[in-house]
Amino acid sequence: MSRNSIKILPGALVCEESKLRGDITIGSGTIVHPSATIIAEAGPIIIGDCCLIEEQVRIIHRTPFDQQNKENTTPVLIIGSNNVFEVDSAVESPKIGNNNVFESKCFVGNKVTVSNGCIIGAGCRITDEQI
């Protein structure tokens, strides 16, 4: 049973038509467009300041299948500041740094850690490697 605990910091803009589920904190200056979906399934999601989350983006925090039932700790997905998630991108990464761009229709799997200053190209699919 998941509970919703949504915290939206001053200066953030979250459209009413977006879908937020779980324990989510949205940083100042971050914009969440209509029909964006953010789901904190495996644990809390903390989104940094000045991120742009466009239409139909899916950010889902889920435990990788091979790590389920291994640890008793609750993982936290921390998304840094100044990240751009373009239309219809899907991101399940367990950690995202600062100043990254996730272009339209890209997919980043839940075993991929994204550092700082990365650009994931339109339509690219990354599932197993660290970048």
Q: How confident is the model at residue 15 (pLDDT cuts 50, 70, 90)?
A: very high
pLDDT value of residue 4: 82
Mean pLDDT of 78-93: 97
pLDDT at 58 over 80: yes
Domains observed in the chain: 5-126 (2.160.10.10)
Rounded to whole angstroms, how far apart are CA atoms 66 and 61?
A: 15
Average pLDDT score, the chain? 91
SS3 content of the chain, % helix, strand, coil (to 5): 0, 35, 60
pLDDT at 45 over 70: yes
pLDDT at 120 over 80: yes
- pTM (two decimals): 0.90
- Torsion over CA of 89, 84, 4 and 46, rounded to 10 degrees? 130
